Structure 1
């Protein structure tokens, strides 16, 4: 197995291996919260925090469970860690910015079921990343997730000021915009060899 460099992992995770636009993981907040950048960016940051905590915990849990020959408990342990990290984020946001907490609505607690968060933990375990690679993968995954949310939110804000035919407004337009963004990110597929 060829050892990937940290820069290669970071760049490929943000661009060509973007969880939302290339792997289609985490689509619920991607389509639901991207009405405004003011909501998309904080949700992206909250998700990035949870991804990093989940990745760190998954790395440690994988070592412990492997030593005890309890690898079959990985998934359950990862889910418990993710749910706990989301609770911390939720309490922090509620305490620091109640208006933002209300604006995010159901999408903040739904980070628990965001498959991009669980995907990071499972992918890094399957790829047998060391600690530095795992943290780079998590930061790249979170940055790519945030980038996708902010990009779609800014395009949707811009489109709201345009004259769009009634037939194309709403979900249809959002899905077309997401598809165009995804096609743009697929252009990075050859990046990094």
Structure 2
């Protein structure tokens, strides 16, 4: 009886482990079929016999992004939207260009951890842990330095010099997603009630209205 109980416990443990991890690849690749009418968690695969080399290729990270915006930064993403062959592979890239004193404002990636490498310039970067600690981990990075932003945590980068800066980010998802905090809170469609935001931020409603007008 004890041996049967032990066997059942082992089976339950192995089953729970299997359900807690991503499934392995069952084929060489799964090029995204963006014309498919099948709705899945991601993209359906197109017939692998119709795959072409362009499904695995992107050109453009050598190009300087246009940073003439309010934040002074621009992200050139390379995810499944740009490379259909990234579908199911769990990785993506982005180039980030920063104007002098520009920033990539506080944001989070709901589906990916990010590892950032500075190619040019110096950046002040950081992330904040979840409640209740809300602890800031921050550091100044120089050319060649690398920093990790854990999945789902709010993080930022700020160019601390009067020169352009460039960084490359690798992310652990084919489609990491991004939620820019200010845009989501003050620029949502429909807008969040200024009563709610005034109470949340402990400011007057006129201040909330002014901020919302910027978005």
TM-score of Structure 1 vs Structure 2, range by shorter chain: under 0.3
Structure with more of its chain in strand, by fraction: 2
What TM-score results when the alignment is normalised by the length of structure 2? 0.22
